[in-house]
Chains A and B, each alone.
Chain A
Amino acid sequence: NAGVTQTPKFRILKIGQSMTLQCTQDMNHNYMYWYRQDPGMGLKLIYYSVGAGITDKGEVPNGYNVSRSTTEDFPLRLELAAPSQTSVYFCASSYSLDRLALANEKLFFGSGTQLSVL
């Protein structure tokens, strides 16, 4: 079982470059999320999606964009990379019948993308 797959695992960007972090899940989960984790800090929610075609901002959305055209895929786009976006990025998914609940069900995480912006 693949679960949640993130690519790439590592990436170094120059300031101002753009890139897309890929995330796909094969569990038919309706909810998907992007988190970032900075050193010594907890995970912070960037964006989330409750289903195909529906996305919403989390706690730290500035500098990022997302789309959810299919149930399986939830790519995260960085348009103009900045040093402040150096972080570890985690994609996650969950299944919930409650459209109002963000994650009362457990999250399944990918293994992360280590991004450095220099």
Chain B
Amino acid sequence: DQQVKQNSPSLSVQEGRISILNCDYTNSMFDYFLWYKKYPAEGPTFLISISSIKDKNEDGRFTVFLNKSAKHLSLHIVPSQPGDSAVYFCAASLIRDMRFGAGTRLTVKP
């Protein structure tokens, strides 16, 4: 069962515009959420995280929003840059269980 879903397999945006990547989860007990970025032939690298007690966390151009009532989180990238082109995974964790979404491929066009 997929407890973490990223329903958009791909997203294309213009350089300088906002990229919004979405993630939905089904288990309301998840208490920590993370985003990872993956380039081809490399392992995922940590990008940003948020605890379930918060609704927003910001780090430079990256902001993660958490809507617990909707069981939804999103990653905003502003402004988007060509180097942001990668696959983005969201993950949700609870004690000894961490679940990943299938990923969204972001393409930022110059």
| Size bin of chain B's contact surface | 20 to 34
Whether the Cβ atoms of B43 and A102 lie closer than 8 Å is: no
Q: Which of A42, A45, A100 contacts B4 (CB 8 A)?
A: A42
Q: Residues on B close to A: CB < 8 A?
A: 2, 4, 6, 9, 31-32, 34, 36, 41-46, 49, 89, 91, 93, 95-103
**CB-CB contacts below 8 Å: A37-53 with B:** 40-45, 48
Instruction: Kindly state the separation between the CA atoms of A61 and B17 in the bound complex, as whole angstroms.
Output: 42
Number of interface residues, chain A, beta carbon within 8 A: 25
Whether the Cβ atoms of A102 and B100 lie closer than 8 Å is: no
Query: Which residue of chain A has its CB nearest to the CB of B41?
Result: A111
Annotate A83-118 by CB proximity to B: 1 below 8 A, 0 otherwise.
000000010100000001111101111111000000
Q: Report B-chain residues with C-beta under 8 Å of the C-beta of A48.
A: 96
A4 interface contact, C-beta 8 A: yes
Q: Report B-chain residues with C-beta under 8 Å of the C-beta of A101.
A: 93, 95-96
Instruction: Kindly state the separation between the CA atoms of A109 and B91 in the bound complex, as whole angstroms.
Output: 14
Pick from A35, A45, A103 the residue with the most CB of B within 10 Å: A103
Query: Which residue of chain A has its CB nearest to the CB of B38?
Result: A109
Whether the Cβ atoms of A102 and B46 lie closer than 8 Å is: no
In the complex where A111-B43, A112-B43 touch, is A100 in contact with B103 (Cβ < 8 A)?
A: no
Query: Which residue of chain B has its CB nearest to the CB of A42?
Result: B100
